[in-house]
Amino acid sequence: MISCPNCNLTPDYLPKDKEVSYCSGCKHYIYNQLENKDVLFSHDHVGDYQYKTRKKQFKKVFDFILSKDLNYNFLEIGAGFGGYINYANKKGFNCTAIDIDDYYKNQYEESGIKFIKADANELDINIDSNVVILSHIVEHLEKPKKLLNYLINQNVDYLIIEVPSSHGMIFKLSKLFLNLNIFFIWNRLWQKNSNSPHLHYFSDESMYEMSNDCRFKIETTIGSRFATLRGSFQRTLTTENLITSLISVIVIQILELLNHLTKCPENKIYILRNLNKK
Ligand SMILES: [Zn+2]
């Protein structure tokens, strides 16, 4: 049995899914892959419309970060098609993107972003950027703390972490279905059949435990949507038929509305300050 990566308590297997365990100490879910899968952070190459629909959220994050009086140098690790880093680049900042996959290398370099091919699980380069973005990458890491401990000893002032949250309605409903022996929604949420499954679902408590232990302090949080109408429809349509896509999009939008009303977003952005730096 593994221990919780955040608070070291022993989590319990979910009664209906022995691949997932839950730490009641910090409300954290962990996917213990029973079989080894190839690790590659696949990007669906659907960056364009996702970028457009996420602009509002990037603005909120940058409004907060840029209110600090710093000499900004941005790095996105596990950048994929580069949501945040492209936004920072357009604002004229010095930007670097790191990814395990060099699919977008040329695109980055053409737009003036430095690209480094590296695995976030095994970083060993010197990082001179002072704002590091981890967008939908931490939940894919076997040992998230290992990366945070690495970053705390670099020149990092702020970390921007975006992860899927177990507080959201889609997560809760998927778990409800799991308990009713309906597995496919739950398995899909964890992306179990992909080459980049989620290995973690964070709660506010577990994010606090992890950050605090690595000497990062959560300064603020920002809610982020699971998907916008057009984005989720186009995304679903790449793997499902028209009817399934339409139904799932409508259901997701209703749940998103509930998330909005209950202030429990499906994805959450945590902005962390390095306590080792003055
Ligand atoms: Zn825990």
Residue ranges of the domains in the chain? 40-168+192-227+265-274
Q: Encoding tokens for residue 105?
A: 């290398």
Q: DSSP letter at 16?
A: T
Residue 271 has pLDDT above 60, yes or no: yes
- Which of 267, 100, 138 has the alpha carbon at shortest distance from 214? 138
Distance (Å) from CA 50 to ligand 1 centroid: 32
- Per-residue pLDDT reduced to its tens digit, 36-75: 655 555 545 445 556 666 888 899 999 999 999 899 999 9
Distance (Å) from CA 116 to ligand 1 centroid: 33
Q: pLDDT-based confidence at 176, cuts 50/70/90?
A: very high
Distance (Å) from CA 273 to ligand 1 centroid: 22
CATH code of the region 40-168+192-227+265-274: 3.40.50.150
Bridge partners, 220 (sequence order): 271
Place of tokens 């979910």: 14
Q: Which residues of 226-244 are buried (b: 16+ CB within 10 A; e: fewer)?
A: bbbeebbbbbbeeeeeeee
- Per-residue pLDDT reduced to its tens digit, 114-165: 999 999 999 999 999 999 999 999 999 999 999 999 999 998 999 999 999 9
Q: Encoding tokens for residue 44?
A: 């669906």
Distance (Å) from CA 198 to ligand 1 centroid: 17
Q: Which residues contact 61 (CB under 8 A, 6 or more apart)?
A: 84, 160, 222, 269, 271
